Amino acid sequence: MSTSTAAPGIQQEQAYYGDTYLFEAAATVVAAGTDGDGAWAAVSPNIFHPKGGGQPSDEGTLNGAPVVPSRSDNGLVVLTGGPELEPGTAVDCAINAELRKRHAALHTAGHVLGHLGESRGWISTGHSHYPGQARLDFLPEGLEAGLATPEQREQVRAELQEALDAVLARGGSVSTAMDGAGHRVVTIEGVNSEPCGGTHVARLEDLAGVTVLELKIKRGALKVRYEAEHV
Ligand SMILES: [Zn+2]
């Protein structure tokens, strides 16, 4: 269980941290208002992942009305576009389960593939887990010669796929915990641990169709495109 205390006096339990598969929840409005985008509300427990860390935001509803989650400057996850509500109001929340599972699959596969790249000595510089455009970026320095031709890139792609398949064949749990400094750390059994605020599958066995699509060096980065689905 995790709470946000960034907004003075307001506690918001981030339920999505603890359970990727919590698709519906009864909650209470802990803060609300209106701004240029219309009505907004922060609810607790909160099941909505806001955009961040390369992962897109969830889609979902608040009392049946479509809302867009985002992280406010004071650290709360706020839902915009729903009904005007008063703090203390009981509400029903729901997220798009299939989209959540897809995001979690892409995100978790990104952790594994990133680890495999770093195991080759590559230095990670960024990542995007958006469906249809998921990719990891690495520093290209020192790699250009070995990735200069399509044949070389295909060879490395095939090696990454083989290593990925081996990790997935072993399987393993995915768990989260808060470290001593208050950072959320995600641990994939047999792979690695790293700080992350995204959503992940419960076990590697939940992943399907994890494919390294392409490697290319472009605009100062080695870009590794990949795909993943939830079973
Ligand atoms: Zn993550």
- 83 alpha carbon – ligand 1 mean position (Å): 32
Provide the token pair at 160.
């990454």
* CATH architecture observed for domain 3-95: Beta Barrel (2.40)
**Strand 207-218 with 221-230, pairing:** antiparallel
> pLDDT at position 7, please?
64
Please list the alpha-helical segments (H only) found in 171-231: none
> pLDDT at position 3, please?
47
Superfamily per CATH, domain 99-230? Threonyl-trna Synthetase; Chain A, domain 2 (3.30.980.10)
What are the residue boundaries of the structural domains of the chain, listed by start? 3-95, 99-230
**Burial (0-12, 13-18, 19+ Cβ within 10 Å), 14:** buried
4 and 184 Cβ atoms separated by less than 8 Å: no
- 201 alpha carbon – ligand 1 mean position (Å): 10
- List Cβ neighbours of 167 (8 Å cut-off, separation of 6 or more): 112, 116, 190, 191, 204
Tell me, yes or no, if the two domains 3-95 and 99-230 fold the same way: no
Of 102, 101, 95, the C-alpha closest to 23 is 95
- 44 alpha carbon – ligand 1 mean position (Å): 22
- 100 alpha carbon – ligand 1 mean position (Å): 13
For 21, 79, 96, 98, the CA distances from 59, given in Å and listed in that order, are 14, 10, 6, 10
- 134 alpha carbon – ligand 1 mean position (Å): 13
For 42, 83, 159, 171, 191, the CA distances from 163, given in Å and listed in that order, are 42, 49, 6, 13, 11
Point out the residues of the chain with pLDDT beneath 50.
1-5
Burial 137-161 (b: 16+ CB within 10 A, else e): bbebeebeeebeeeeebeebbeebb
> pLDDT at position 171, please?
97
* Separation CA 144–CA 148 (nearest Å): 6
**Burial (0-12, 13-18, 19+ Cβ within 10 Å), 118:** middle
Residue ranges with CB less than 5 Å from ion ligand 1 = 107, 196, 198
54-99, pLDDT tens digit by residue? 999 999 999 999 999 999 988 899 999 999 999 999 999 999 999 9
- 171 alpha carbon – ligand 1 mean position (Å): 17
- 109 alpha carbon – ligand 1 mean position (Å): 9
Provide the token pair at 36.
């240029």
Of 99, 56, 52, 107, the C-alpha closest to 227 is 107
94 and 201 Cβ atoms separated by less than 8 Å: no
